[in-house]
Structure 1
Amino acid sequence: MIGHTGKVFNGQPVEQPSWHCTNYNANLASIGICFLGNFENIEMPIEQFNAGVSLIKDLMKKYNVTLPNILRHRDIVSDITGRAGSTECPGKNFPCVHMLDALRDGKPFFDIGEDYPYITEIKTLKQLGIIKGDSKGYLKPHEYITREEAIIIAYRVIKLSQN
């Protein structure tokens, strides 16, 4: 558990499975990290965010966890409902995209690397806030863009040009 001040509280040993998500197999093969707070109603303090990023990086290194396997509770397919998204946890204000960005250490998205033909442009557009990718850290450059996505990008470009 990670408190608002950034203090990390240890629970049970990592080797001991616990019921931290609604999927039996996921509980046996994962490590649950609890960020204390109701992120439906509050923003995460920077101290808590930084402590979380540090802890996750340490656990990724120690247990050889890859970034696409860093999931929110809501991303897990529930044994009860048979689908992901059966809970709002960790809440609409949980800084998932920012946390994944911090964990990526400069890599813009999971599905493109430094060898991507337009990596420089993608990094610039992301840094400017024009493109953000999906909530799991993917750009999906080979999928068609929707009208809604095109309008959002155009809006961001216009807002940026007005500043």
Structure 2
Amino acid sequence: MGHMMAIEQEWWKNKLAEDIYATLKLKEQTIPQFHAQSSQLWIRRHLVDWLAVIVSEIGICATAQHLAVYLLDYFMDGLEVELCYMHLMALTCLLIAVKFEDHCDRIPHYNKLNSYIPVTQYNTGQPYTARQYLNMELNILKFSSFELCIPTVPNFSSILSQ
């Protein structure tokens, strides 16, 4: 047991970890830039803060949280989303990120995600349907060309902190 713990704590020192780090560094060079050109940029902070609360309450990993924010930024930067679908878009970015970065046991069900929908001036708080989530997921994936391997800060933090 103690030997296994030492291996897990020093995973970043092996050849595979070096290759992963090099690949992430290379991939980082090709990430599309965030231009902050959305006319809806004013709502971004609210959505990111709101997602952080959900991530904390559900116990989602940091890499999924950062990927969700990247997807949200990238999608908003290129497309205008009707205000009534902003929370659906943010929740779907989180859902995609959890599916890609976290353990399958952490993937929240639509009902759980719907429980976080706030009532706002542009949103009645009505739950989104499974079809709406799936349609939004497909839109986000198509827009990002199904490219989800995006290096974010948590991908490097464990390596760089050593």
TM superposition score category, shorter chain reference: under 0.3
The two structures have a TM-score, normalised by structure 1, of 0.27
The higher relative CO (CA closer than 8 Å, separation ≥ 6) is in 2
Q: Which is helix-richer, 1 or 2?
A: 2
